[in-house]
Structure 1
Amino acid sequence: MSKPVFTSVFAEDLKRYLVFKQDMGCYGTARGWYLSSFDAYCMKHGIVFFDRQAVEDWVVFRKSSQPGSQPSWMSYIRDFGRRMRTHNNPDAYVLTESWRSGFVRSQPYLLSREEISRFFQAAAELKTKSPWQWQSVAFFGLMHSCGLRTCETRRLRLQDVDLRKGEIDVLWSKGNRSRRLPITDEIIEVLTKYDQMSRKEFGRQRPRFFISSTPTPVTPATVGVMFNRIWDHAGLPRAVDGQQPYPYSFRHHFAYANIERWMAEGTDVNAMLPYLARYMGHASLDSTYYYIHTSPDFMDGYAALTHDSQGVFPEVGFQ
């Protein structure tokens, strides 16, 4: 996509904002596209003040142009408003979170301990001529133990997995955010066995840590196919109606299992959520709070837990 061109009275501010985001490692094109739309809207309607009416009228216009779309694009104009308010316009309007109220997340499939145990037992017994025969436990085990997104697991390179130090680097993930995660001794053992098998079969130059039989990087479709194959091989049931299990369910399980453990131990969950958000690569605590109400064991305590959630959190370090 070509570089955005801005012509409204906010042009220079928009250019500086995009340069700032790129310096922070955010190179996606969607931000520039939506802000170009705002810029064009301002030119067409003669808008010269970054006030509530201007911003909210544009949001209404965009929502009407994209009925049913997820409201993630609103974060761009909200973030731009914050930067304007901080740097040169203390009266700049910051779009409120209430505009997200129409967005309802789907209820995730909540894996049980029995389902997880039977799934990995079936994965260990999988019969196939592809690398999935020895990489199934490692691939889904890493998702389960670290709460990784499916795409993050697929994109891991050999140099991103340090089995000696017990660390993995998740680079340029959602929102172009990166993080380094520790892995347990158990998963180190699983990954080491998988890595040895793959090096024996394909040498040291495979394109990703996890690969297909070609060998090429694993595709999203293949991950879903293998998950379903293992699930069915384990003899696990599928609901006739409602949410179905899928690979991302391991990420959901990682989040709510940790929250439930903290609740059971009497740990202050509010204090721990910033660390969970950082570990999972969430842009804000909003995404992490979502997992609180997915856990069936403490729905009654949700109101008390989230009360005054805007209080002081412990600082999360960046390494």
Structure 2
Amino acid sequence: MGKFEFTSVFARELWLFLAFKESMGCAGASRIYYLRSFDAYCTEHNVRSFDQQAIEGWVRFKKSSQPGSSPSWMSYIRDFGRWMRTHENPDAYVLAESWKSEFYRSQPYLLSSKEVDAFFGSATDLQTTSPWRWQSVAFFGLMHSCGLRTCETRRLQPQDVDLTAGFINVLWSKGNRSRRLPLNDQIIAVLADCDKISRQQFGQHRSAFFVSSTAAPVALSTPGVMFNRIWNQAGLPLSLGGKLPHPYSFRHHFAYANIERWMAEGRDINAMMPYLSRYMGHATLDSTFYYIHTSPDFMDGYATLVQESQGMIPEVGFE
């Protein structure tokens, strides 16, 4: 973390929270920027209680100063509230999820099967001297086969990947939620090859499952850089002025490919959505139903599916 100060009554808690997030591999500059803004607001307005009036007052202030922006920054103050409630103040206010209701997600880039095949064909022959020469297929293959977020893949520790039992543990991800995901035989073999070479290169106790040339955890921007290099090496086109593919596109692809497969198999999509939601680590079913909207074959039935889903949710069945 850079050299800066917190000046509000919450200064100590803010430092402890950032240290906690950094220990979990979450050291983003955006979080620091918005929490410094919150700290300055509290100092200027003499806020001394972490209550609903104070938190929502700052949120309204930020919304008015940057109209039309994505509300993703609200997750930082919401996450801080959860941490405060757990560690410092059981009465701390946690920003309600309803504050995100005004945000409309854009249509993501939808990978085609041909693009996926061409991408991984290129990844197997990536021309680089860095660890991405042997870990590209494993990194992006894990995102593709398990629908992981990019940050979840970056933060995996060697002990989180159990190739004997065939699962990975995604710990303390978005919203401080954890989950265990099963792996198929193909991705187990790919991960095993990657792990074997990485152990030969960096020893038995490396800092993360996927690493940089210095054996450090993969930096925030690196997956995007490597994705673009593999995409370009494959000769895949890029849309001028339109939607562009990126690592997160594999997570989108995982979701809508499963939805389309279940539809082709004649399954009840409403009954399957809670399973997909739990697997992908979503906080609510709304986030999962969004992927019905992204799937071209489901656009017409989106409203009907959402309406019929009320009261039809079975037990998820995950431990």
- Seen in structure 2, the aligned counterparts of structure 1 residues 60 and 168 have a Cα distance that, compared at 3 Å, is same
Alignment match, 2:15: none
Q: State the shift of 1:126 in Å.
A: 1.2
Distance in 2 (alpha carbons) for counterparts of 1:2 and 1:271: 48
Residue 188 (1) aligns with residue 188 (2)? yes
With normalisation by structure 2, the TM-score equals 0.76
Structure 1: segments with no counterpart, 5+ residues:
7-24, 45-49, 84-93
Decide whether the 8 Å contact of 2:256 with 2:295 is kept in 1: yes
Is 1:295–2:295 an aligned residue pair? yes
Which residue of structure 2 aligns with residue 218 of structure 1?
A: 218
Residue 316 (structure 1) shift: 2.4
Q: Which stretches of structure 1, 4 residues or more, deviate above 6 A after TM superposition? A: 1-4, 27-31, 33-38, 40-44, 54-59
- What does residue 253 of structure 1 align with? 253
Structure 2 spans left out of the alignment, 5+ residues? 11-23, 86-94
Structure 1 residues 158-197: aligned runs within 5 Å = 158-197=158-197
The Cα shift of 1:257 comes to 0.5
CA distance in structure 1 between the aligned counterparts of 2:248 and 2:102, rounded to whole angstroms: 24
Q: Of the two, which has the highest radius of gyration? A: 1
Q: Corresponding residue for 2:120?
A: 120
Q: CA deviation at 1:59?
A: 6.2
Match of 2:109?
109
Corresponding residue SS for 1:219: coil
Q: What's the RMSD between the two structures over aligned residues? A: 3.8
Matched with 2:130 is 130
How far apart are the structure 2 equivalents of 1:198 and 1:95? 43
Residue 267 of structure 2: aligned partner? 267
Following TM superposition, by how much is the alpha carbon of 1:310 offset from its aligned partner in structure 2, in angstroms? 2.8
**Alignment length (residue pairs):** 285
Q: How far off is 1:96 after superposition?
A: 8.8
Measured in 1, the distance between the counterparts of 2:62 and 2:225 equals: 36
CA shift digits 1:263-313 (9 cap, x unpaired): 111111111111111111111111111111111112111121111433241
Structure 2 CA distance, aligned partners of 1:58 and 1:208? 37
DSSP 3-state at the match of 2:148: coil
Pairwise CA distance, 1:314: 1.2
* 1:115-146 Cα distance to aligned partner (Å, 9 max, x none): 00010011111121111111111111001000
Q: What displacement does 1:248 show?
A: 0.5
For 2:218, give the aligned amino acid.
Answer: V
* CA apart distance, 1:63: 2.6
8 Å contact 1:138–1:191 — kept in the other structure?
A: yes
1:238–1:244 Cα contact (<8 Å) kept: yes
Report the Cα distance in structure 2 between the residues aligned to 1:292 and 1:274, rounded to whole angstroms. 13
Matched, 1:202 2:202: yes
Do 1:34 and 1:76's aligned partners in 2 also have CA atoms closer than 8 Å?
Answer: no
- 37 and 308 in structure 1: CA distance in 2 versus 1, 3 angstrom threshold: farther
Q: Summarize the Cα distance change of 1:309–1:153 in structure 2 as closer, same or farther, 3 Å threshold.
A: same
1:90-132 CA-to-partner distances (Å, cap 9, x unmatched) read xxxx9794x6453121211100000000100111111211111
Contact 1:35–1:76, Cα closer than 8 Å, also in 2: no
